[in-house]
Amino acid sequence: MTQSTTTRWTAQDIPDQQGRTALVTGANTGIGFETAKALASRGATVVLAVRDADRGKRAAEEIGAAVPGADLHVQRLDLSSLASVRSAAEDVRNTWSRLDLLINNAGVMYTPYSRTPDGFELQFATNHLGHFALTGLLLDLVPATADSRIVTVSSAGHRMGGPMDLDDLDWSRRPYNRTAAYGHSKLANLMFTYELQRRLPAAGPLALAAHPGGADTGGSKSAMAHSSALTRAAFAMIRPLLLQSPAMGALPVLRAATDPAAQGGQYYGPRGFQQSKGHPTVVRSSAASYDLATQRRLWALSEELTGVTFPGN
């Protein structure tokens, strides 16, 4: 399978998705919303897995208005709670016999320190552990074909924060740094993807990662809410130069999920300067993300913390 040479890949390049089912976490806003909308427009049945069911229903109505006849379903899912992840996975299993696409998109960004009901640091729990558990609980619904995909959304921010301390994932031994904690959770997304791809059967499905670049989403706005007034004012001035629309930010995710030429273990992001804007292409992640020993240790810790083991492992 060779990589597509398309340099300006857009949502119009998404193959027909009729008869396919996609689950998108965090589909009520931002990248998740645009991903769900684009997949629905190509005929996919889309499950909007969201923390707030009312907001999910409003998002489904908005997509339905733009895509008449769209087949949309709302599933409540709070990734910060393993009980909610297990409950949502059971609901999905009781409703769907297969998931052709699992898009692990939802996340939190730069949050003040807090712990989840399970006792984990919020950003690591939501961005990594919740998606790790969800994927493990649903993996056997994903057909063993190369056009079936598990796509996990990382961030250029995975390079922030220095090395991940696997002995102190809850930040109990050092002062909490919300930027580093976010970066570590996004680094974990990549390590999870690369290790998952090695564990999947040769026939498929494929595990890939993507990042939206500088997307002007609710996450970026809420992150700025915790900054100083001076920082917010300066960022407002340069935002148009650094950020692209959520629809453009969703393209790397959509290409990873649907491009027939995509290969397992690839990482998609914008092709522009510093991967901040532009059409999607295969990009490289940090050197740390490719460390095999750390990937395997993170996997083992994730199984231990979530209580979820993957089929065949």
pLDDT value for 218: 54
Q: What is the pLDDT of residues 173-182, one digit of tens each?
A: 999 999 999 9
Q: What is the pLDDT of residues 11-50, one digit of tens each?
A: 999 999 999 999 999 999 999 999 999 999 999 999 999 9
Mean of pLDDT values over 267-281 = 84
pLDDT value for 233: 56
CATH of domain 18-213+247-306: 3.40.50.720
Mean of pLDDT values over 137-143 = 98
pLDDT value for 217: 57
pLDDT value for 7: 73
Structural domain boundaries in the chain: 18-213+247-306
Bridge partners (DSSP) listed for residue 149 = 101, 206
As a whole-number percent, the residues of the chain with pLDDT over 90 amount to 83
Examine the pLDDT at 239 and tell me if it is beyond 60: no
Examine the pLDDT at 311 and tell me if it is beyond 90: no
Three-class DSSP category at 98: coil
CB half-sphere exposure, 280, CA atoms < 13 A = 30
Mean of pLDDT values over 55-63 = 98
Q: How confident is the model at residue 216 (pLDDT cuts 50, 70, 90)?
A: low
Q: What is the DSSP letter of 118?
A: T
Examine the pLDDT at 1 and tell me if it is beyond 50: no
pLDDT value for 243: 78
Examine the pLDDT at 289 and tell me if it is beyond 50: yes
**Higher local confidence (pLDDT), 89 or 215:** 89
> CA distances (Å), 97 to each of 43, 130, 243, 293, 309, in order?
18, 22, 39, 35, 20
CB 260 within 8 Å of CB 15: yes
Q: What is the pLDDT of residues 106-121, one digit of tens each?
A: 999 999 999 999 999 9
Q: Which of 110, 182, 194, 268 is catalytic?
A: 182
pLDDT value for 214: 75
DSSP string, 242-287: H-B-HHHHTHHHHHHHH-TT--TT-EEEE-SGGGSSSSEEE----G
Q: How confident is the model at residue 312 (pLDDT cuts 50, 70, 90)?
A: confident
Mean of pLDDT values over 215-229 = 54
Tell me, yes or no, if 182 is annotated catalytic: yes
**Higher local confidence (pLDDT), 7 or 197:** 197
Examine the pLDDT at 274 and tell me if it is beyond 90: no
Measured CA to CA, the distance from residue 42 to residue 254 in angstroms comes to 11
